[in-house]
Amino acid sequence: MNRRQFIQTTAVAGIATTVLPSNPLLALDSAKGVNWPIGCFNRPWVGDKKNWGFDAALDGIKEAGYTLTGLLTRSAKEPFIGSDATPEYLAALKKKIAEHGLKVNMAALRTKNDLPLEDQISDVRRQIDNGKTVGVEFLLTFGVDNAAHLKNYLKLMQHAAAYAQERAMKLVLKPHGGESGGAEEIIRVLEQVNHPNFKIWFDAGNIIYYTGRDPADQLKPIARHVTGFCAKDCDRQKGSVWLEFGKGKVDFPAVFAVLKKAGFNGPVMVECCAPGETPEIVTANARTNRQFLEKLFASH
């Protein structure tokens, strides 16, 4: 074998040894795993199925092995960062979360779409200030279902994005049907709000629930704008989201492969799990979904 033949042969062999298997998980990280923070919302303990209260949720989140939580499902007793929250309540809320050994990274904003725009702006500013008091980094909004509310919503988000940025907080949009149903709608909202502090927290389960579309395909055009992930599965359009991950139609490996390629770095927040008749069962199911994600992120 002469020198030229040797170089050609070794080059072909090198290419052959670097061909990646078809498993989409390999796109997550060829150096064995990613290190995205995994947290859990309070919804599994206080959501659609049962309501054992926020204290039970914090106990369950901690017991299920999480150190990070988010304030999603509120009530009259637990307004979280709502504009009706008192300074005393906010101080007690912050203390309670810390006493459970948890950190809070996100709280949901609630828009009051029937109010005049000036009143909406004032209300959202109070919520953002409350979020700053509690110590959250992200403020989650859900878009609007009614197209008649869209014009004011876009103006509201422009104000909110700027106001939050001044306070070192990030405003994000969660796919939630209606005017934030899928990629096309989300892109339209992003373009019209047109503010660098307005990004996306993707929700693959909601894409299936509200639109029936493929989450990975819907994610591709907007992945570079995603700064967080609301994790839940879904069995069909308008079906159930109360599932163990991997039992529904969300292709988690494919979705996270798209995010990894786009440079995503978390956090990933568990929103739902399989239901249970006791908080202890829900806690065990929330632990199962955490372990699913950890195994997925660590593979390949």
Is 237 contained in some domain? yes
What is the distance between the alpha carbons of residues 118 and 110, in angstroms, rounded to a whole number? 15
What is the distance between the alpha carbons of residues 292 and 38, in angstroms, rounded to a whole number? 11
Judging by beta carbons within 10 Å of its beta carbon (0-12, 13-18, 19+), is residue 162 exposed, middle or buried?
Answer: middle
The pTM for the full model equals: 0.88
- What is residue 79's three-state secondary structure? coil
Is 4 contained in some domain? no
How far from 223 is each of 106, 165, 226, 256, 261, CA to CA, in Å?
20, 21, 5, 10, 9
Q: What is the pLDDT of residue 275?
A: 95
Is 23 contained in some domain? no
Is 11 contained in some domain? no
Is 264 contained in some domain? yes
* pLDDT (tens place) for every residue of the chain, 300 residues total: 444 444 444 444 443 333 434 444 544 444 468 999 999 999 999 987 789 999 999 999 999 999 999 999 999 999 999 999 999 999 999 999 999 999 999 999 999 999 999 999 999 999 999 999 999 999 999 999 999 999 999 999 999 999 999 999 999 999 999 999 999 999 999 999 999 999 999 999 999 999 999 999 999 999 999 999 999 999 999 999 999 999 999 999 999 999 999 999 989 999 999 999 999 999 999 999 999 999 999 984
Q: What is the pLDDT of residue 32?
A: 65
In sequence order, which ranges of the chain are alpha helices (DSSP H)? Answer: 3-17, 43-46, 54-63, 87-99, 117-134, 150-166, 183-193, 204-211, 215-219, 252-261, 279-298
Domain span at residue 252? 38-298
Core vs surface per residue 60-93: b (16+ CB within 10 A) or e: bbbebebebbbbbbbeeebbbbbbebeeebbeeb
Q: Residue 196, preceding bond cis, omega within 30 degrees?
A: no
Q: What is the pLDDT of residue 211?
A: 97
Tokens 């995205």 locate to: 36
Is 21 contained in some domain? no
Please tell me the total count of domains within the chain.
1
CATH number at residue 258: 3.20.20.150
What is the distance between the alpha carbons of residues 242 and 245, in angstroms, rounded to a whole number? 9
Q: What is the pLDDT of residue 4?
A: 45
Is 20 contained in some domain? no
Q: What is the pLDDT of residue 139?
A: 98
Is 29 contained in some domain? no
